[in-house]
Amino acid sequence: MLSFDTCEGCREMPQTLPSLTVVRREPRYGWRDLVIAALVLGMFVLVATGIRGIAAPFEAAQAPAISLDPSQLPGYALRTVMRMLVALLLSLVFTLAYATPAAKSRRAEAVLIPLLDVLQSVPILGYLSFTVVFFLALFPHRALGPELASIFAIFTSQAWNMAFSFYQSLKTMPRDLDEASRSFRASAWQRFWRLEVPFALPGLVWNMMMSMSGGWFFVVASEAISVGNVQVALPGVGSYVAVAIGRRDLAAIGWAIVAMTVVIALYDQLLFRPLVAWADRFRYEQTAAQVAPRSWVLDLCRRSAVARRAVAPLSAALQRAARARMSWHFGMPHNAAAAWRRLQLPLWLGVLALASAWLVWQALHAARATLSWHDAGVVAINGALTLARVAVLVALAALVWVPLGVMIGLRPAWAARVQPVAQFLAAFPANLLFPVVVYLIVHFGLSPRIWLPPLMILGTQWYLLFNVIAGASAYPGDLREAARCFRIRGWRWWKYAMLPGIFPYFVTGAISASGGAWNASIVAEAVSWGPTRLSAGGLGAYIAQMTGAGDYPRIGLGIAMMSLLIILTNRLLWRPLYAYAERRTRLA
Distance CA 286, CA 237 (A): 45
Identify the pLDDT of residue 15: 46
**Which of 371-380, 511-520, 538-547 has the least mean pLDDT?**
511-520
pLDDT tens digits, 238-292? 888 888 888 888 888 889 888 888 888 888 888 888 888 888 777 765 444 455 6
Identify the pLDDT of residue 379: 92
Q: Is 490 left (phi over 0), alpha (psi -120 to 50) or beta?
A: left
Longest alpha-carbon distance in the chain: 89
pLDDT tens digits, 175-187? 777 777 777 777 7
Average pLDDT over residues 142-150: 82
Within a domain: 324: no
Beta carbons within 10 angstroms of residue 442's beta carbon: 13
Within a domain: 16: no
pLDDT tens digits, 418-449? 766 776 676 666 667 777 777 788 778 888 88
Identify the pLDDT of residue 329: 46
3-state secondary structure of 437: helix
3-state secondary structure of 231: strand
pLDDT tens digits, 482-525? 888 888 888 888 888 888 888 888 887 888 788 778 877 887 88
Give the residue among 517, 225, 214 at the shortest CA–CA distance from 387: 517
DSSP at 579: H
Identify the pLDDT of residue 428: 66
Does residue 570 have a pLDDT over 70? Answer: yes
pLDDT tens digits, 293-345? 777 777 777 777 767 777 777 667 767 766 666 554 444 455 665 665 566 66
Determine the distance from the C-alpha atom of residue 117 to the mean position of all C-alpha atoms in its chain, rounded to a whole number.
15
Number of domains in the chain: 1
Within a domain: 69: yes
DSSP at 494: I
**Most confident by average pLDDT, 3-17, 114-128, 494-508, 573-587:** 494-508
Within a domain: 323: no
pLDDT tens digits, 398-417? 999 899 888 888 887 777 67
Identify the pLDDT of residue 577: 84
Give the residue among 95, 83, 116 at the shortest CA–CA distance from 207: 95
Does residue 576 have a pLDDT over 50? Answer: yes
Question: Domain with 305 in it: what CATH number?
Answer: 1.10.3720.10
> What residues does 346 pair with on adjacent strands?
none
355: burial class by Cβ within 10 Å (0-12, 13-18, 19+)?
A: exposed
* Pairing of β 532-535 and β 526-529: antiparallel
Look over the chain and give the mean of its residue pLDDT values, rounded to a whole number: 77
Q: How confident is residue 382, by pLDDT bands cut at 50, 70 and 90? A: very high
Within a domain: 297: yes
Average pLDDT over residues 343-366: 69
Report CA dihedral (75, 79, 82, 86) to the nearest 10 degrees. Answer: 170
More confident residue, 463 or 291: 463
Distance CA 243, CA 236 (A): 11
Does residue 558 have a pLDDT over 90? Answer: no
Determine the distance from the C-alpha atom of residue 150 to the mean position of all C-alpha atoms in its chain, rounded to a whole number.
16
Owning domain of residue 528: 30-313+369-587
Distance CA 128, CA 518 (A): 16
More confident residue, 20 or 275: 275
Q: Which residues contact 392 (CB under 8 A, 6 or more apart)?
A: none
Average pLDDT over residues 445-462: 81
Give the residue among 401, 421, 161 at the shortest CA–CA distance from 268: 421
Does residue 136 have a pLDDT over 50? Answer: yes
Beta carbons within 10 angstroms of residue 82's beta carbon: 20
Q: What's the predicted TM-score (pTM) here?
A: 0.73
> What residues does 226 pair with on adjacent strands?
231
Distance CA 189, CA 338 (A): 21
Q: How confident is residue 20, by pLDDT bands cut at 50, 70 and 90? A: very low
DSSP at 27: P
Indicate the residue type of 467.
N
First-last CA distance in the chain: 19
More confident residue, 387 or 350: 387
Within a domain: 128: yes
Within a domain: 98: yes
* Pairing of β 230-233 and β 224-227: antiparallel
Q: How confident is residue 10, by pLDDT bands cut at 50, 70 and 90? A: very low
Identify the pLDDT of residue 544: 84
Within a domain: 300: yes
**In 3-state terms, the chain is what percent helix, strand and coil (to 5)?**
75, 5, 20
- Collect contacts of 305-314 with beta carbons under 8 A, ≥24 apart: 305/27, 305/28, 305/29, 305/30, 305/32, 305/33, 306/29, 306/33, 306/36, 306/37, 307/33, 307/36, 308/27, 309/27
